[in-house]
Chain A
Amino acid sequence: MKHLLSTRDLDRATALQILDVAEDMAATQQREVKKLPTLRGKTVVNLFFEDSTRTRISFEAAAKRLSADVINFAAKGSSVSKGESLQDTAQTLEAIGADGIVLRHPASGAPAVLAGSGWIAASVVNAGDGTHEHPTQALLDTFTLRRRIHGDGSRGRDLDGVRVLIVGDILHSRVARSNVWLLSTLGAQVSLVGPPTLVPFGIGDWPVTVGHDLDAALADTAFDAVMMLRVQTERMADAFFPSSREYSSNWGLTAARFMVLPEHAVVMHPGPMNRGFEIASGAADSPRSTVREQVANGVATRMAALYLTLTGGAQ
């Protein structure tokens, strides 16, 4: 695997390989010595054109645990704000010796352009591009869910028949898109619920069922996992929904809705959470919430992604 650009083009075998390697990486993170020498001498650049603390820290920790050298490049206040193009920035990074570029970019498809352009020989890992994809987030969500379901016997297992509900702003969510493709590839049944204004046009082609009424969806199906999406506060002023209170009462995971969920169902959230808005504190802090596991598993999953893209010379 030279690049990791999206989950849509991952086949089942490759997806399972990444998740299985992540299992081994997670096991090494339980040890006293967490650092592996695997990527010694390699340089990973975190090239972030959008603000992100969590994803960058997670990638940075993952690269460092594998002994890679890490360079963090935040586009703000850099040559990019002076008008440098993506091509020039990437070629500059390669001249410095980057073997892998972890790219977060506001434009959908920027990582694919960088990977396919021939500008650089480095591997590209998509850390979120526009409203397109965020593959490592979907992989860590799937990893977390698989562990909750299959426990120590997770290796090699898929999510056949697992019912997952994704709730919120589907329109702007790259996390939702990446999860839809990956979960479907692994056999899960995905349902989406959100305000009609925040469900994208053309969703009929997706391998999902779509609804607008959260209570009806919860009454209708016994879901194994409910994934709450973050409502981006910048959207609240954009008149996608009348008021934050109305959003919360219609599409938030309130304490009452949390009680309706089946006993075994887990609650997931990619973070950062807006407590009391899309998710009630009672749900976010319950033992069935995987929010902190997701963060911990993020490091192991990204270690797997970096390992698989940065090793393997002669194919």
Chain B
Amino acid sequence: MAVRTVLQQADITRALTRVAHEILEANRGSAGLVLLGIPTRGVELAERLGALLTEFAGMPGWSCPVGSLDVTMYRDDLGRNPVRSPAPTRLPSEGVDGRTVVLVDDVLYSGRTIRAALDALADHGRPAAVRLAVLVDRGHRELPIRPDFVGKNLPSAASERVNVLLTGTDGSDAVTIGDGAE
């Protein structure tokens, strides 16, 4: 199968840097920000974005709260796919009530994972606002969901496979797209 690399390590770093600035700009600073990554790779992206936000905010003593939000138990396709093992949910000690929660995921596709994440988040509290940051938006939405911050818009055919590799999880940074044939 033919695989093409769309983003290299430097591109991913640049995209995350820009997204971090955009988050601070849209939020008018760092007040109330909480990042929640969606396992597996959303968590690593959230941690990296959090480190950048802490750096760029330039507020002594402030570091961006980062957590993970597992959405497995809220999915709408549990009966259709092979059984999934949930991942741990870890919320920052501040909680999410009244905060501006930025959900972080690697690829935005149908929007169903984000739908599940919104339901999961509602069971943990009532954020003041919820935003969505993704590294790659590949289109093909099935729900009225749109991202607020996008690393890279990647038009794709539904048959193609978009893969995000991250250093912490996979050993190196890259975004690849393949034709889906085995």
Asked if A21 and B86 make an inter-chain contact with CB atoms under 8 angstroms apart, the answer reads yes
Asked if B74 and A312 make an inter-chain contact with CB atoms under 8 angstroms apart, the answer reads no
Asked if B83 and A28 make an inter-chain contact with CB atoms under 8 angstroms apart, the answer reads no
> Is residue A57 within 8 Å, beta carbon to beta carbon, of the partner chain?
no
Q: Roughly how many angstroms separate A216 CA and B83 CA in the complex, as a whole number?
A: 47
Query: By the criterion of a CB under 8 Å from any partner CB, how many residues of chain A are at the interface?
Result: 23
> Is residue A314 within 8 Å, beta carbon to beta carbon, of the partner chain?
yes
Asked if B81 and A21 make an inter-chain contact with CB atoms under 8 angstroms apart, the answer reads no
Q: Roughly how many angstroms separate A21 CA and B80 CA in the complex, as a whole number?
A: 19
Q: Which residues of A contact B87 (CB under 8 A)?
A: 24
> Is residue A236 within 8 Å, beta carbon to beta carbon, of the partner chain?
no
Nearest B residue to A38 by beta-carbon distance?
B73
Q: Which residues of A contact B119 (CB under 8 A)?
A: 37
Contact residue among A24, A27, A66, A311 (Cβ-Cβ distance under 8 Å from B83): A311
Asked if A38 and B124 make an inter-chain contact with CB atoms under 8 angstroms apart, the answer reads no
Q: Which residues of A contact B123 (CB under 8 A)?
A: 31, 33, 35-36
Task: Name the interface residues of A1-56: CB closer than 8 Å to any CB of B.
Answer: 1, 17, 20-21, 23-24, 27-28, 31, 33, 35-38
Q: Which residues of A contact B84 (CB under 8 A)?
A: 311-312
Which residue, B72, B73, B81, B85, has most C-beta atoms of chain A within 10 A? B73
Asked if A312 and B83 make an inter-chain contact with CB atoms under 8 angstroms apart, the answer reads yes
Contact residue among B74, B79, B81, B88 (Cβ-Cβ distance under 8 Å from A24): B88
B-contact bits for A282-315, CB 8 A (1 contact / 0 none): 0000000000000000000000000110011111
Given the known A-B contacts A24-B70, A31-B123, A37-B74, are A313 and B85 also in contact in the complex, defined by CB atoms under 8 Å? no
Q: Which residues of A contact B85 (CB under 8 A)?
A: 17, 20-21
> Is residue B82 within 8 Å, beta carbon to beta carbon, of the partner chain?
yes
**How near does chain A come to B101, taking the closest CB pair, in angstroms?**
16
Asked if B83 and A38 make an inter-chain contact with CB atoms under 8 angstroms apart, the answer reads no
Contact residue among B70, B73, B81, B86 (Cβ-Cβ distance under 8 Å from A313): B81
Asked if B80 and A314 make an inter-chain contact with CB atoms under 8 angstroms apart, the answer reads yes
Query: By the criterion of a CB under 8 Å from any partner CB, how many residues of chain B are at the interface?
Result: 19
Given the known A-B contacts A27-B89, A155-B88, are A37 and B73 also in contact in the complex, defined by CB atoms under 8 Å? yes
Q: Roughly how many angstroms separate A1 CA and B119 CA in the complex, as a whole number?
A: 26
> Is residue B3 within 8 Å, beta carbon to beta carbon, of the partner chain?
no
Q: Which residues of B contact A33 (CB under 8 A)?
A: 123-124
Q: Roughly how many angstroms separate A35 CA and B78 CA in the complex, as a whole number?
A: 17
Q: Which residues of A contact B83 (CB under 8 A)?
A: 1, 307-308, 311-312
Q: Which residues of B contact A155 (CB under 8 A)?
A: 88
Q: Roughly how many angstroms separate A314 CA and B80 CA in the complex, as a whole number?
A: 6
Asked if A314 and B82 make an inter-chain contact with CB atoms under 8 angstroms apart, the answer reads yes
Nearest A residue to B125 by beta-carbon distance?
A32
Nearest B residue to A304 by beta-carbon distance?
B86
Q: Roughly how many angstroms separate A37 CA and B84 CA in the complex, as a whole number?
A: 15
Contact residue among B73, B80, B81 (Cβ-Cβ distance under 8 Å from A28): B73
Q: Which residues of A contact B82 (CB under 8 A)?
A: 312, 314-315
Q: List residues of B whose CB falls within 8 A of some A CB.
A: 70, 72-74, 78-89, 119, 123-124
Q: List 22 A-B contacts (CB under 8 A).
A: A1-B83, A21-B85, A21-B86, A24-B70, A24-B73, A24-B89, A27-B88, A33-B123, A36-B74, A36-B123, A37-B74, A37-B119, A66-B73, A307-B73, A308-B83, A311-B79, A312-B78, A312-B81, A312-B84, A314-B80, A314-B81, A315-B82
Smallest CB-CB A-B distances: 9 pairs: A312-B83, A311-B78, A24-B86, A33-B123, A38-B73, A36-B73, A313-B79, A313-B80, A312-B82
